[in-house]
Amino acid sequence: MTQEQILNILKKTDTMLEGHFLLTSGRHSNRYMQCARLFEYPQHSEALCKHLAEQMKALEVDLVISPAIGGIIMGYEMARQLGVKNIFAERENGIMTLRRNFQIPVGARVLAVEDVVTTGGSVMEVIELVRQMGGIPVAVGMIVDRSAGKVAFDIPAFSCYSAEIVSYHPEECPICKTDLPLVKPGSRNFSK
């Protein structure tokens, strides 16, 4: 699968929007990513997860884990592609933990996945949890790496699409100088 084909999927599923957006930080951007949109379309999320899984065959993964809730659907599809089990971690009193009697066997080779990574904080907590349980984190898988490779995991990382989202201080935003209206993603009257 080429980068162009991947980008086409991200655009046609509205996972990646292009325009003039007000980010929660107050800054403006010409792009907005909402990875949950990709998973509205099982055939497209399957295609991207398959593309990632093909690069991971040599890792001999035993188990996939993801941080709830953003990574859960991706984790399920990655596990399906790799033919292994899938579990997820969730926060309890702020601490990333395994509930529901999920287990990580000692020595298991574990793939950590997250749909979109910006700072990598949740994934790093999941990797730490895997180590605490005696598992071996072997790689990170992401649909979108919004840090463009700047997040430094201490294990190999794979992504379908990697790009830094450029944002501007409102007073320095070049898009404000065009006719493109500023929209706030996620607001009720946000439509595309």
Shortest Å, Cβ 181 to Zn ion: 10
**Which residue stretches of 100-166 are H helix?**
121-132
Assess 173 for contact with Zn ion (CB under 5 A): yes
Shortest Å, Cβ 176 to Zn ion: 4
Sheet with strand 28-33: strands edge to edge: 16-22, 28-33, 167-168
Assess 32 for contact with Zn ion (CB under 5 A): no
Shortest Å, Cβ 19 to Zn ion: 10
Tell me the three state secondary structure of residue 75.
helix
> For Zn ion, which is the closer residue by CB, 83 or 174?
174
Assess 176 for contact with Zn ion (CB under 5 A): yes
Sign of CA dihedral 46, 88, 59, 85: negative
CA-to-CA separations, 108 to 33, 135, 172, in angstroms, rounded: 33, 5, 50
Of 58-66, 93-101, 102-110, 170-178, which part binds Zn ion (CB under 5 A)?
170-178
Of 35-43, 91-99, 110-118, 168-176, which part binds Zn ion (CB under 5 A)?
168-176
Residues of this chain that bind Zn ion (CB under 5 A)? 28, 173, 175-176
